[in-house]
Amino acid sequence: MTPTPPQHAAALQHSAVSLRQFWSTHCANHRRGTRSALSAHTLRPYLLQVLLCILLLTPLTTVMSAQHLVLASNKPLSRLHGFDQLPHHLHITNDEASSHVQGIAVDLQRGFIYLSFTTKLIKVDFEGNVVGSVRGLSCHLGCLDLDTITGRLYASVEYKDDDIGQGISGGAAKGRANNFYIGIFDTEKINHPNINCETGNVMKTVYLPQVVADYQDSVTNQGVLVPHRYGCSGVDGISLGPQFGTTDGPRMLNIAYGVYSNTSRTDNDYQVLLQYSLDSLDKYAQPLVQATPHHSGPAKAQARYFVYTGNTSYGVQNLEYDASTHYWLMAVYQGNKSTFPNYALYAVDGSQAPTLETLRGMDSGEKGLVLPLAADGLQDATTGIRGWRQALGSTGLESIGNGYFVIATSGSDGTYQTATLQLYRWTGDTTSPFQLVN
């Protein structure tokens, strides 16, 4: 709890003394057999003292529950025990060539921010000073999410042979084996810059054979053989949160497929999420050796879910659970199908359980567990799909509680990639659901 400021201490002490005197007098009278009438007139001054205590204490109360700060006042996100405030604006520059920032994670308890710059992970403090980094990756390191209890940082990791893989690794990506992982970083060991991703003992990975199979499989759609089941391009968005249909309980990890943009197919209009318990991942996690990638991972996810949004460009870029709304927010690059609204942001209502449905657009008549979109934002009159057009969050989206978010936007200084982090408040407004905090 935040310490009580001196200007309130005297008033609180006076109130406590007055209440104690009242109670002592009342109890003494009761023991003597003298009943004091507790009328409204008698109680009024003491009730006012109680109200004064509440008013003085309430605005200063700060509660931390896991990652989520709950502030009883409108003050901006002070961390516990007098630590520095989270900045409203921070500018970070990578110090080597890379692609743009892909995701962020904020550790309010320890005072650090993590940024994925595609092939490099950077750890900074709240003033933007680099505390540590992990380099040497030849993969696509995407969305991030932090388990603040264990200090583990989870990330989507892709090694693939498509244009994205070749853009990262050049000709070496052509013809190489496709491997998709959940990356797990030990953040306490990220304590100096330029730690090698393989030899630094900071990173392990869990193999995802279902994703590999869906990426490499071909299926029939509208009578034509097409590559990549569900349009799967790999994995990207990742987040921790409670089981769908609940608002508390054990946290589950959900990782979202990337989905290729293709306007001629009808079987690529769902976002696809695979779900794992954290315990199930631990026993498979192995150190990363990029020359000889391991295949240690669960044969199947605990569950696979579908969200009907219409096709997007590369699927869910950032997935983020927000405990204030119980939404699983999905920031995407907008799709191109004219029959869909092509929003930039969607929200799954995490308080609602999935339903088993026949999946639309599939030749096979396949059934799947479909998650409902939240009854919020804009609603397309033709499809009924809901969402927002505000294009924020696809390169970094972090809920920090009480309706506040840190959002990263990508840029460049002409030589290196940059990330600008700013504080936003969720309003849910149909035009601008994220409002910049000035």
Most confident of 9-23, 82-96, 295-309: 295-309
Who has greater pLDDT, 92 or 46? 92
> Region 229-235: what's the mean pLDDT?
98
The reported pLDDT for the residue numbered 69 is: 34
**What phi and psi values does residue 275 have, to the nearest 5 degrees?**
-120, 140
Grade residue 42 by pLDDT with cuts at 50, 70 and 90. Answer: low
pLDDT for 178-219, tens place per residue? 999 999 999 999 999 999 999 999 999 999 999 999 999 999
Listed in sequence order, the DSSP H helices in 217-314 are: 278-282
The reported pLDDT for the residue numbered 274 is: 98
Residue 333 has pLDDT above 70, yes or no: yes
The reported pLDDT for the residue numbered 164 is: 84
In the chain, the percentage of residues whose pLDDT exceeds 90 is 74
Grade residue 68 by pLDDT with cuts at 50, 70 and 90. Answer: very low
> Region 40-53: what's the mean pLDDT?
50
Residue 89 has pLDDT above 50, yes or no: yes
Q: Judge: domain 76-436, CATH 2.40.50.
A: no
Computed over every residue of the chain, the mean pLDDT equals: 85
Task: Give the C-alpha separation, 112 to 105, whole Å.
Answer: 9
The reported pLDDT for the residue numbered 155 is: 98
Are 330 and 306 in contact, with CB atoms under 8 Å apart? no
Q: How far is CA 297 from CA 58, 228, 281, in A?
A: 48, 21, 7
Residue 339 has pLDDT above 60, yes or no: yes
pLDDT for 343-386, tens place per residue? 999 999 999 999 999 999 999 999 999 999 999 999 999 999 99
Among 32-46, 57-71, 112-126, 304-318, the range scoring the smallest mean pLDDT is 57-71
Task: Give the C-alpha separation, 123 to 131, whole Å.
Answer: 6
CB burial of residue 315 (10 Å; 0-12, 13-18, 19+): buried
pTM for this entry = 0.82
The reported pLDDT for the residue numbered 44 is: 52
Locate CATH 2.115.10 in the chain.
Answer: 76-436
Among 69-78, 86-95, 130-139, 154-163, the range scoring the smallest mean pLDDT is 69-78
Task: Give the C-alpha separation, 56 to 50, whole Å.
Answer: 10
Are 259 and 165 in contact, with CB atoms under 8 Å apart? no
The reported pLDDT for the residue numbered 171 is: 73
Coil/strand/helix, residue 13:
helix
Residue 159 has pLDDT above 90, yes or no: yes
Residue 52 neighbours by CB distance under 10 Å: 16
The reported pLDDT for the residue numbered 96 is: 87
